[in-house]
Amino acid sequence: MVSQIHTNILSHDVAVFVEREDDPVELGVQLLARLEHAELPLPEVIDRIETITAHPETTRAILEEAELRGHIDRDGDTVRPVGGRFLSFESEVVSRDGEFECRRCGASISTGYFMKLEAGEHGPFGSSCIRKVTGRE
């Protein structure tokens, strides 16, 4: 079911509703589509992707798919986000109070920040890590 949805996205390049846990590639591509940097070294991009997946093959698939869709340009070890569909911090990051573990650094946090992407929410992150992941640092 999920692969059919994914195929639909690939062929039409239209974002439809996708369950986030089922499709880390879609989530990763959307994350890369919204990086707020002029350019980033590849290891820093991978650092962000690792908040979604720890699998090298999935990481590679995310990078390839993001490049294929024109969200990023790769030049050796430098990645340049293209297009500028930048995340608006106010409208597309939500916070919730509770007991969370930061998805990036593992710290215990009482306020979790989540990126709202078309593929679903990505988080929770602490206040400094959400800035790192969205590229606002």
> Smaller CB distance to Zn ion: residue 27 or 133?
133
Task: Single out the segment in contact with Zn ion by CB under 5 A; choices: 7-15, 72-80, 81-89, 118-126.
Answer: 118-126
> Smaller CB distance to Zn ion: residue 72 or 109?
109
Strand pairing category for 108-117 and 93-101: antiparallel
Q: 10 Å Cβ neighbour count for 111?
A: 14
What is the secondary structure of 8-64 as a DSSP string? HHHHH-------GGG-HHHHHHHHHHT---S-EEHHHHHHHHTTT---HHHHHHHHH
Which listed residue (129, 130, 133, 135) binds Zn ion by CB under 5 A?
A: 129
Q: Does 123 bind Zn ion (CB under 5 A)?
A: no
d(CA 103, CA 1): 27
Which listed residue (24, 112, 126, 135) binds Zn ion by CB under 5 A?
A: 126
Least gap, CB of 43 to Zn ion (angstroms): 18
Least gap, CB of 93 to Zn ion (angstroms): 14
CA atoms within a 13 Å half-sphere pointing along the CA-CB vector of 131: 4
Q: Does 105 bind Zn ion (CB under 5 A)?
A: yes
Task: Single out the segment in contact with Zn ion by CB under 5 A; choices: 14-22, 36-44, 53-61, 105-113.
Answer: 105-113
Q: Does 102 bind Zn ion (CB under 5 A)?
A: yes
d(CA 127, CA 109): 9
| Size, binding site for Zn ion by CB under 5 A | 6
What does the binding site for Zn ion look like in residue numbers (CB under 5 A)?
A: 102, 104-105, 107, 126, 129
